[in-house]
């Protein structure tokens, strides 16, 4: 049985773990966080990705935990209403579409529940060295003992450690987008009822929306950020940075910033994309943001991760003894899809993508030709699909 190590227990890594186990691979996931990551923004599952989660048996479950927004209000820097919509929101697009918006933590929980009984998870650990040998890869961990694997997949995000160890410095692949976002949760001090509020003033602003049956708020701050070396892990420094960049905004901004300082789930990073000439090298391949980050500004990172994980696993199952051919086919299939979704951000910088552009990008790949292959490989795995759906 082929042994695969996945770095990263987010959407990309957990989805790949599901499909690799389904196809009969012995799968281990290593995650730097001491437990499953909580917090974060609402994410969208759109187009082809909806079919992927349906094939995972999650179609109805994601709908049960989806957001239920009724619309949004847009404010200027002083809190004056300048726009309102009951047809669409900035976070999810048109409310009458078949797409699903849900919290990232709810999606990763569903994925973890599907895999935790069959996949080995190493939380609170990370890869420190990858040494390819004639018959496999020797991986050295920060805490666990070194171990041999047949393949290593980097699904560890924008700042991928697997990518750095295998391909070199992040700087050669990273394209900054001139913006930084910060996300945190707090109590629903605005008493919002499934309604979003977006405030914009100059080169800074924020979005607020209720979650958990309107008991909590998720707040996304955004502001212009110059390129350069910034330690995004220094939380106090980054909270101060956000406070300074949003200080000119009025309305409820002072209360919001007070809540930010109290938040335990504060997360921030630069908005950037990853562009690489190749996503694999030897027995190592990259997936999701590690390979082709489109940035949260695209609204398509989650869908891209779900689809790419599905395609990679199926290509590896198709030629189990030729990982090179599998990685080549995976990239040939997914790269055009990734480029279409990255273009949602770069074709008209500073402007939201049109509904027509999003519809085209979310369906810019077909997975129909892999249905027969999945059926053919059902009996290869340790358990059949019904067992995996438990």
Q: Is residue 322 predicted with pLDDT exceeding 60?
A: yes
Q: Is residue 130 predicted with pLDDT exceeding 60?
A: yes
Among 272, 305, 333, give the residue marking a domain's end: 272
229 and 306 both lie in a single domain: no
Alpha-carbon distance values, 372 to 259, 289, 378, 388 (Å): 52, 29, 10, 19
108 and 231 both lie in a single domain: no
Number of structural domains found in the chain: 2
Q: Is residue 141 predicted with pLDDT exceeding 60?
A: yes
306 and 377 both lie in a single domain: yes
235 and 159 both lie in a single domain: no
Report the CATH number at residue 244: 3.30.9.30
Q: For residue 16, which of 279, 294, 286, 306 has the smallest C-alpha distance?
A: 306
Q: How far apart are CA 242 and CA 380, in angstroms?
A: 51
235-244, 333-342, 369-378: the lowest-pLDDT one: 369-378
267 and 278 both lie in a single domain: no
165 and 220 both lie in a single domain: no
Residue 263 is assigned to a structural domain of this protein: yes
Q: How far apart are CA 188 and CA 177, in angstroms?
A: 31
Q: Which domain holds residue 39?
A: 3-67+100-174+273-388
Among 256, 272, 288, give the residue marking a domain's end: 272
Q: Is residue 383 predicted with pLDDT exceeding 90?
A: no
The torsion angles phi and psi of 48, rounded to 5 degrees, stand at -60, -30
Residue 30 is assigned to a structural domain of this protein: yes
pTM over 0.85: yes
Residue 95 is assigned to a structural domain of this protein: no
Q: What percent of the chain has pLDDT over 90?
A: 86
3-class secondary structure, 104: helix
225 and 358 both lie in a single domain: no
290 and 357 both lie in a single domain: yes
- Cβ neighbourhood burial of 193 (10 Å; 0-12, 13-18, 19+): exposed
Residue 94 is assigned to a structural domain of this protein: no
pLDDT at residue 227, rounded to an integer: 66
157 and 299 both lie in a single domain: yes
Residue 7 is assigned to a structural domain of this protein: yes
Q: In sequence order, what DSSP letters do the residues of 205-250 get, joined into one string?
A: EEEEEEETTTTEEEEEEEEE--SS---TT-HHHHHHHHHHHHTT--
230 and 155 both lie in a single domain: no
3-class secondary structure, 338: helix
Among 272, 290, 319, give the residue marking a domain's end: 272
Q: What pairs with residue 152 in β-bridges?
A: 5, 284
Q: Is residue 390 predicted with pLDDT exceeding 90?
A: no
294 and 244 both lie in a single domain: no
211 and 198 both lie in a single domain: yes
Q: How many residues does the chain have?
A: 390
Residue 89 is assigned to a structural domain of this protein: no
Residue 118 is assigned to a structural domain of this protein: yes
Residue 93 is assigned to a structural domain of this protein: no
Report the CATH number at residue 358: 3.50.50.60
Mean pLDDT of 209-214: 96
The rounded Cα 42 to chain-centroid distance in angstroms is 10
């Amino acid at each position: 049985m082929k042994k695969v190590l996945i770095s990263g227990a987010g959407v990309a890594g957990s989805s790949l773990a599901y499909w690799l186990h389904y196809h009969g691979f012995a799968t281990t996931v290593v995650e730097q966080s001491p437990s499953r990551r909580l917090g974060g923004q609402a994410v969208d599952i759109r187009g082809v990705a909806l079919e992927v989660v349906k094939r995972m048996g999650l179609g109805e479950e994601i709908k049960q935990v989806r957001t239920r927004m009724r619309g949004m209000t847009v404010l200027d820097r002083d809190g004056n209403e300048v726009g309102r919509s009951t047809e669409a929101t900035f976070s999810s697009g048109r409310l009458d579409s078949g797409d699903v918006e849900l919290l990232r933590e709810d999606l990763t929980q569903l994925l973890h529940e599907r895999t935790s009984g069959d996949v080995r998870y190493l939380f609170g650990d990370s890869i420190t060295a990858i040494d390819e040998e004639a018959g496999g890869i020797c991986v050295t961990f920060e805490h666990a003992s070194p171990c041999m694997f047949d393949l290593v997949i980097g699904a560890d995000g924008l700042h991928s450690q697997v990518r750095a160890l295998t391909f070199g410095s992040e700087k050669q692949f990273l394209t900054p987008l001139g913006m930084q976002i910060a996300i945190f949760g707090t109590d629903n001090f605005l008493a919002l009822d499934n309604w979003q509020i977006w405030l914009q003033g100059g080169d800074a602003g924020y979005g607020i929306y209720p979650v958990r049956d309107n008991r909590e708020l998720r707040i996304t701050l955004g502001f212009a950020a110059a390129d350069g070396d910034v330690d995004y892990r220094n939380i106090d420094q980054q909270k101060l940075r956000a406070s300074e960049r949003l200080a000119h905004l009025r309305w409820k901004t002072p209360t919001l910033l007070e809540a930010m300082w109290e938040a335990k789930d504060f997360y921030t990073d630069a908005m950037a994309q990853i562009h690489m000439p190749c996503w694999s090298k030897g027995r190592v391949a990259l997936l999701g943001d590690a390979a082709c980050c489109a940035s949260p500004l695209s609204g398509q990172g989650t869908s891209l991760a779900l689809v790419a994980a599905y395609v990679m696993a199926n290509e590896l199952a198709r030629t189990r003894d030729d990982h090179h051919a599998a990685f080549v086919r995976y990239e040939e299939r997914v790269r055009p899809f990734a480029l279409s979704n990255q273009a949602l951000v770069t074709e008209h910088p500073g402007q939201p993508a049109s509904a027509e552009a999003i519809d085209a990008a979310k369906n810019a790949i077909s997975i129909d030709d892999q249905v027969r292959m999945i059926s053919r490989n059902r009996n290869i795995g340790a358990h059949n699909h019904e067992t995996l759906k438990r």
